[in-house]
Amino acid sequence: MVGFLILVWICIFLVFLFIRISKPQNFPPGPRPLPLFGNLLELNINNPLNDFKRLADRYGNVYSLYIGSRPTVVINGCEALKEALVNKAVEFAGRPQDLMVNHITERKGVILADYGPGWKEHRRFALMTLRNFGLGKQSMEERILGEILHVIAKLDKIVGSSFDPQTMFHNAASNIICTVLFGSRYDYNDEFLKRFIHLFTENAKIANGPWAMIYDSFPLLRNLPLPFKKAFKNAFIAKQMSGNLVKEHKKTRVPGEPRDFVDCYLDELDKRGNDGSTFAEAQLVLYVLDLHFAGTDTTSNTLLTAFLYLMTHPEVQERCQREIDEVLDGKDQASYDDRHNMPYTLAAIHEVQRVANTVPLSVFHCTTKDTELMGYNIPKGTLIIPNLTSVLKEEGQWKFPHEFNPANFLNDQGQFVKPEAFMPFSAGPRVCLGEGLARMELFLILVTLLRRFQFVWPEDAGEPDYTPVYGVTLTPKPYRMHIKLREIVKP
């Protein structure tokens, strides 16, 4: 028996040694893949960003990898990304459908849905409904400013002390999108809110971590009781919670008088009936989870990055506060329109988004047909990784690509300018649905809090660590911040 097993392993080793993965003709260059593993051994699967840069330096801005046996093209740099995501938008607008995240979301929702009529219908509906509920209008400002009052109330209680802001910003961002989706907000100590956020943040870490890569690379291991099963359990609980909210809405809604996004979708279901469209109640459950995640994790992590850098660059914080004081003199509260008169503050906010690099690899794309990019042939169905990190730190695109400096968004006259390499929300038809909401949230929250408080790096906190925690979204390492009430602001 032992001899037989040894013989089997020798045969497997020989097959492994001599079988090679063949690349398509004129495929982008890249390291030679190994059978079964592809190029996984070339990558630090806990955080491959440095490896992606190393490979780009060696093979160019468009290169290939194999994730297991799956051919993958990594796109780097502003020119190549713009060519793919904007100029050849349809060819690169697909989504791979056999990854862990697709199985978790049952291929429903809008973020991970494949390119086609159903995705177009749901994206168009989301954009229209968000717009009708005040995205970019006064009513959305009121929702955000209303939530900021709860943040201020919390901070007022701890003036003169230090605290960890992570939960607070996740709660605030979650509540803002909850008012749009469900028409309600939750107390920061509410168990529903805390559990909802925990499920999302944990799955965000798993989805871009080593176990997700193992799941995606080795299909034979998918049924084993390995740590990636935790993500499926979390998703099941989140779907139950979302489904219960939809059921409650169905009991209390008045058809034709929508209170929120869920009511709007249910009204749309009534209109369509059995027309064969992709609109369905099961789709709605995943749809709102998509939008909640997109509207919470990125914004909260960007805010955490903002205060980390503002505390450790007090000269930037002070200059923002001087501009805010001047523009808002005599006004009770900020308005989103005030951004036009705050070029330095607006530049600082955009610089925060650049260094935060919140979604470093965007959401993976897939080619919808055979295409060509920068002289290389890319077959239909190829996994595409848009490396947004490479653009946000690209030499030649920024005055100070490797440091935090609002001058990256200011011209010589001190006016705000936005370089084309600014792509934190990706680009093209798959650009983030919540971009408008996120921009408004970041501006109103930061301006309002900087007007009232001073944020100081605690004396006993040691040196700041800017190295983020890797996941679907990059998260700053936990830190504490000291709160002072600014004397020039009247209570």
Model pLDDT for residues 376-431, shown as the tens digit of each residue:
999 999 999 999 999 999 999 999 999 999 999 999 999 999 999 999 989 889 88
Q: How confident is the model at residue 453 (pLDDT cuts 50, 70, 90)?
A: very high
For residue 97, the model assigns a pLDDT of: 87
Q: How confident is the model at residue 21 (pLDDT cuts 50, 70, 90)?
A: low
Write out the two tokens for 373. 């990019």
CATH label of the domain that carries residue 313 = 1.10.630.10
Query: Whole-number mean pLDDT of the chain?
Result: 89
Query: Taking each helix axis from N to C terminus, what angle separates 281-312 and 314-327, rounded to the nearest 10 degrees?
Result: 110
Q: Looking at the DSSP assignment, which residues form a beta bridge with residue 376?
A: 373
For residue 3, the model assigns a pLDDT of: 43
pTM of the model: 0.90
Q: How many domains does the chain have?
A: 1
| Average pLDDT, integer, range 215-239 | 90
Q: Check: CB of residue 173 under 8 Å from CB of residue 442.
A: no
435: in domain: yes
For residue 421, the model assigns a pLDDT of: 95
84: in domain: no
Beta-carbon count within 10 A of 254 CB: 9
Q: Check: CB of residue 15 under 8 Å from CB of residue 35.
A: yes
| Average pLDDT, integer, range 214-235 | 90
Q: Which is more confident, 360 or 136? A: 360
pLDDT tens figures, 312-343: 999 999 999 999 999 999 899 999 999 999 99
Q: Check: CB of residue 300 under 8 Å from CB of residue 200.
A: no
What residues make up the domain containing 183? Answer: 91-357+393-485
Beta-carbon count within 10 A of 120 CB: 15
Nearest to 361 by CA among 21, 110, 35, 65: 65
CA distance 410 to 399: 10
What is residue 458's three-state secondary structure? coil
Q: Which is more confident, 486 or 196? A: 486
Q: Check: CB of residue 360 under 8 Å from CB of residue 388.
A: yes
Q: Check: CB of residue 242 under 8 Å from CB of residue 262.
A: no
For residue 405, the model assigns a pLDDT of: 98
Rounding to the nearest 10 degrees, give the CA dihedral for residues 186, 190, 192, 193.
60
| Average pLDDT, integer, range 243-247 | 91
CA distance 57 to 80: 14
Question: Which DSSP symbol is given to 84?
Answer: I
DSSP string, 328-373: TTT-SS--GGGGGG-HHHHHHHHHHHHHH-SSTT-S-EE-SS-EEE
**Any idea what the Cα angle at residue 239 is, between residues 238 and 245, rounded to 5°?**
95
Q: Tell me: pLDDT of 158 over 70.
A: yes
Helix (H) or strand (E) holding 245: helix 229-252
pLDDT tens figures, 119-136: 888 899 988 888 776 554
Sign for the CA dihedral angle at 333, 335, 338, 342 comes to positive
409: in domain: yes
319: in domain: yes
| Average pLDDT, integer, range 71-86 | 96
CA distance 301 to 466: 13
| Average pLDDT, integer, range 177-197 | 87
CA distance 415 to 442: 20
Who contacts 114 (Cβ-Cβ below 8 Å, separation ≥6)? 94, 95, 97, 107, 366
Question: What sections of 19-77 are H helices per DSSP?
Answer: 49-59
CA distance 486 to 491: 10
Q: Looking at the DSSP assignment, which residues form a beta bridge with residue 73?
A: 64, 384
70: in domain: no
| Average pLDDT, integer, range 83-105 | 91
| Average pLDDT, integer, range 194-205 | 84
Q: Which is more confident, 121 or 21? A: 121
For residue 198, the model assigns a pLDDT of: 87
Q: Which is more confident, 113 or 324? A: 324
CA distance 146 to 162: 24
Write out the two tokens for 372. 């060509």
For residue 138, the model assigns a pLDDT of: 58
| Average pLDDT, integer, range 41-68 | 93
